[in-house]
Amino acid sequence: MSELVPGGNLPLPGGSLILRVPGPFDVSALITGGEGRVGSDGDFVFYNQPAAPGVRLRGDTLTVEPALLRPGAVRVTVAVSAAEPDTPLGRLPASELQVTDPRGRTLARFTPPRPQRETVLLLAEIYRRGTGWKLRAIGQGYADGLAGLARDFGVDVAEDRPGPTAPAHRPTVPEQRSARHAPRPPSPQPPAPRPPAPQPPAPRPPSARLPAPAAVPASDPEGFLDLVNSARAGAGSLPVTLDARLVSAARAHAAAMAADGRLGGESRDGTSVHQRITAAGYAYATVGEHLVSGPRTPAEFIAYCLRTEQARRTLQDPAFTQAGLAHVTGGRTGDTYWTALWARPLAAGDLDRTRTEVVELTNAQRRRAGLPPLAVDPLLTAAAQAHSADMVAHDFYSHTAPGGSQPWDRAAAAGSARRTIGENIACGQRSPAEVVDGWMNSPGHRANILEPGFTHIGVGFAGGGRAGTYWTQLFGA
């Protein structure tokens, strides 16, 4: 294990890396090419855009898989900022970067000099050197905030220009996934541009589907379930049952990792573990996963999960009611690769309850700010739900749909006559509380939630896709 100092570097082993910064911090990452600039806004990974090819953020932990980075990417720069927006890092405890491999072995630690007035700290970078990768400690304070950092790396940061005649904004960073005050053009309208190309029909949103089928029992010849439920009982969580669809998805993903010779949420063909779950016919209200290599038996696998806080929380999460486990040995390395999936199926009423909770949490934030609550608008709800489902079905994450439609277009298509429309989207969050908390910690999203002029709201949620969950808030006035 190496203790790094600013400027120090370390050759990295092959495979994925786990980077963790415990404490009251937000972790972010910027993926750049040889010119030091991002290829698109999607190369900025932060609390409300927690995934990009080869990089995934969950809580205080960043997983980087260099071999899965987008083509042309040669560097991942890791930064931290205060979890409480605009707080100087000098007011907080010193940050510490902990770097481990997927088996939990510590590769390096880096405790940078504590900044003073700076609100962002460039912590380290993972960079290509020849055919391998290295880690370099940086420890440089940055005074312009997360948006300034993003701008300097080439992320498109638009300025807010509210008002009834303002043009539609591109998503901004860190407000990157909030479309703010985007009104439909007032009448009379200028000549309409050529309409966008027709989109393929979007699937019916989950609210229009039949209730999820009952659990499909799965056999358990290795006694996995008893081990899991014993560990859950120790935390006061109810037992889970095995579901054959989750087992099938877990087996497919474990086999893909063994064939690739590496751990990862996506296989070389771009298929994510969440896409395998939905392909198996399992619609979920919430989902979690463990991707591990090394243990030889289910008992060793459970022991591994119980050793680290984040893995233990997933294993013992009371929200999960069903599970699936598979392991495959072989491939190029001869290692054993494990996939454990945890979920609660999407039952009748779950979608309405999820959307209601998001609205209640949103209105609680408005009440704290002395603002009136937002009323639920069925037309905005339909548009928001369709967009979440569309992001899953067509594998994108943006305010702009593949056919070119914007939030206000979708609201109008659903029949809404509201003239001012705003939208927040997010992906990867596992609960209404987590997604609303993320939005409130992002200036642009927070501005939408606390906009005094908004009077109505619609919420959409869909499980699946690369990120696992996709959320939409559509505001209207």
**Residues paired with 171 in a beta bridge:** none
Query: Is residue 348 packed enough to be buried (19+ CB in 10 Å), middle (13-18) or exposed (0-12)?
Result: exposed
pLDDT value at residue 161: 30
Q: Which helix (H) or strand (E) holds 275?
A: helix 273-279
**AA letter at 336:** T
Q: Which helix (H) or strand (E) holds 102?
A: none
pLDDT tens, the chain, 477 aa long: 567 877 777 888 888 899 999 888 889 999 988 777 888 878 889 887 888 899 999 888 999 999 899 888 999 999 998 877 777 888 888 888 999 988 888 888 888 877 777 888 888 999 988 888 888 888 877 766 777 777 777 776 543 333 222 222 222 222 233 444 333 322 222 222 222 333 333 333 333 333 444 556 667 778 899 999 999 999 999 999 999 999 999 999 999 988 888 777 888 788 889 999 999 999 999 999 898 888 889 999 999 888 878 788 899 999 999 999 999 987 666 788 899 999 999 988 999 999 999 999 999 999 999 999 999 999 999 999 999 999 999 888 888 888 888 999 999 999 999 989 999 988 888 889 989 988 887 777 888 999 999 999 999 999 988 888 999 999 999
First-residue to last-residue Cα distance in the chain: 57
Give residues with Cβ within 8 angstroms of 128, minimum separation 6.
Answer: 66, 74, 75
Give me the residue label for tokens 């560990």: 231
Distance CA 20, CA 108 (A): 11
pLDDT value at residue 369: 96
Report the predicted TM-score, pTM, of the whole model to 2 decimal places. Answer: 0.59
pLDDT value at residue 399: 86
Three-state DSSP class for 99? strand
Q: In Å, how far are 76, 135, 140, 391, 467 from 66, measured between CA atoms?
A: 9, 12, 23, 25, 18
453 and 429 Cβ atoms separated by less than 8 Å = no
44 and 173 Cβ atoms separated by less than 8 Å = yes
Q: Which helix (H) or strand (E) holds 80?
A: strand 75-82
For 143: left if phi > 0, alpha if psi spans -120 to 50, otherwise beta; the answer is alpha
Distance CA 292, CA 305 (A): 9
Q: In Å, how far are 31, 37, 147, 232 from 41, measured between CA atoms?
A: 10, 10, 12, 40
Distance CA 395, CA 378 (A): 25
**Residues paired with 286 in a beta bridge:** 344
> How does DSSP classify residue 83?
S
362 and 449 Cβ atoms separated by less than 8 Å = yes
